[in-house]
Structure 1
Amino acid sequence: MKSAIWVHFPCVTHTKVWNSYRWVSRSCSLALYLRSDQAGKNRFSGTHRGMANVGPMLGAMMEVSKGTFAITRAEHYMASGDWVAITVEFAGEANGIKLKQAGVDLIRIDDGKIVEVRLFSSDQQQEDAFWGQ
């Protein structure tokens, strides 16, 4: 089930990436101490802590993809305690590569705020090539 309540994200340029996180019964915002784990071996891989690091990373993703990177579909919202798993599809163009693939975003919510995001791609090698080093 999806609701029409959007996650509030303070920087409009990154809204395209985060618009797909809708919640059944509440609206969430990103915590200032957010932790984001990016899989793979590309320029964005690794653990990024705090909005001071995550926000610019999302901005750089939009720069590299010239604004084309987006979550194109989000469904199957599965909650277990503080965790929500969402099956997603994402797409974009960068480095001469057109990316379109499925994935899973695993999000932890604490006190109404998204505090942790873990991303899983169905083809990590393609995503690594897409983002480059």
Structure 2
Amino acid sequence: MNEIDIVLAKLKKVGSPVFLFKMVRDVNKFIKHHQFIFPKTIVLDIVYIQITKQVFEVTPKGIFTLSEIPSQANVIKLSRESLLDVYNFVGSEQLAINDLEKLTIILKQLRQSKNIKQYKTILKFVDTSFETNLGMRDIIKIGMTKFN
């Protein structure tokens, strides 16, 4: 079973195979359209998320605030406005005081099938500010480690 089959098997609660195929296709197209050049690492356990000028290190042990992105890293960039839009959309009942708490809640909420089904709306919220040096295969591998 290849990586995509494993992810799709774990996501079967989200929708039909046709829905999942369209979602993977749409997200792949979105990621390709929002690439930027930055040296990435082959270790996918750590992703750096830059919200405007704040940097967060997302690891299996948690999310930590950093002063800057390392010179070689797996990076996702996003505006603070986009972060707030997604935070408000996912409808968490938890109140977050700062961006670290908002990001933590968003990452937890995005694993729920009701929010995965709304991927098109979420992509629209981040469309104007989203950038990454990760490819779809990298995203799938990261997703697989989070599901296991």
* TM-score interval, normalised by the smaller of the two chains: under 0.3
Q: Rg bigger for which structure?
A: 2
The structure with the greater share of residues assigned to strand is 1
Alignment TM-score, normalising by the size of structure 1: 0.27
From the two aligned structures, give the one with the greater helix fraction. Answer: 2
Q: TM-score, length-normalised on structure 2?
A: 0.25
Q: Which has the higher contact order (CA 8 A, sep 6+)?
A: 2
